[in-house]
Amino acid sequence: MSAELARLVNGFRVSQMLYAAVELGIPDVLADGERSSDELAEASGADASALYRLLRALASLGILHEADGRCFALTELGKPLRGDVPASLRGWVKLSGRDYFWHTWGNLTGSIRSGENTFRSLHGQTVWEWRAAHPEESAIFDDAMRSTTLAANAAILAAYDFGRFGTVVDVGGGTGTLLASILEAHTATRGILFDQKHVVSGAEPVLRAAGVLDRCEVVGGSFFSSVPEGGDAYVLKWIIHDWEDEECVAILRTCREAMAPEAVILVIERDLGPPNENAVAKISDLNMLVMPGGRERTEGEYEQLFAQAGLRHVSTALAASGHALMEAAVQ
């Protein structure tokens, strides 16, 4: 087996190593500097011998650096595992290591054989229904979306002029991480955050911390039923890829019904790209298959969804983060 292929085969082990470190709080303990493995074991409540084995393995991958006396420090590569850094990936690591997430991906072969959504096959309900019934898992998911959104926000805002809108409606906007950044950057703009009630219930601290709570209305509901009227722009970030075509068209039509004639829809997703390229988007596409039951798409496929919903594709802006910002208007 080639070294590169072996690295790929063993990738699942690395993700669990990272999850263990994050669950034990190791990266945050190391935020203040180097610590010995014994000190880290005491701080995390872990077995000292077993923890040292984990730490030295992470050091061999460049996540940590091991010095004399079994002392460890975070490297630049490992710093995003901390929860207090702007581009933190701690939330995504915690989501990826959860038992249900792990088990669902472990049944990928079944979905490839059947074409069916793995999570629904295993649990008899959608992942959204399941998370709504498991608040602790919903909170972990929301934190993962918050951390990945924070990592992409600067690139998204640099790629598109949100300041031309008086009111931005963030449809399926979670706890408001993107909308807060938009309102921070454009002080004359107002926002409406819309998502399921149990999701937006956690939005106030995010909006308050950004200093935009007074310019943002928070509304709970389902985007299959209705979305708030009065927006100049309706943003759908990482929403459409969660669903198959029929549901996507229904979501877009719901937004269209709420839109004034001059308003626009902005869909933010990853373009699948040409063959042999863009592994991030194509692996994400498999995650859509096994978890929510959707798919990643090409720009042309998004144009077809727009047309079916009575919309026309106006333009596409590409962000440095790899996301496509596709604007559509009423036909």
Which among 243, 238, 239 is positioned nearest to 292, based on CA atoms? 243
Compute the Cα dihedral for 260, 170, 282, 320 and give only its sign.
positive
pLDDT value of position 1: 60
3 state DSSP class of 176: coil
Q: Which residues contact 50 (CB under 8 A, 6 or more apart)?
A: none
Give me the average pLDDT of each 10-residue run along the chain (331 residues). 89 97 98 97 98 98 98 98 91 96 96 97 96 94 92 95 98 97 98 96 96 98 98 98 98 98 98 94 97 97 98 98 97 89
From the CB of residue 61, how many other CB atoms can be counted at a distance below 10 Å? 14
What integer pLDDT is reported at residue 87 of this predicted model? 80
Instruction: Identify which of 235, 228, 242 has the alpha carbon closest to the alpha carbon of residue 293.
Output: 242
- The catalytic residue positions are 241
Q: How far is CA 95 from CA 81, 88, 98, 99, 125, in A?
A: 13, 13, 5, 9, 19
Quickly tell me which residue has 């720009």 as its tokens: 299
Q: Which pLDDT value is given to residue 86? A: 82
- How many Å apart are CA 25 and CA 120, to the nearest integer? 32
Q: Which CATH class is domain 3-82?
A: mainly alpha
**Burial class for 278, CB neighbours closer than 10 Å (0-12, 13-18, 19+):** middle
Going from N- to C-terminal start, the domains of the chain cover 3-82, 93-330
Residue with token string 């956690």? 202
Classified by CATH at the fold level, domain 93-330 comes out as: Rossmann fold (3.40.50)
Largest CA distance in the chain: 68
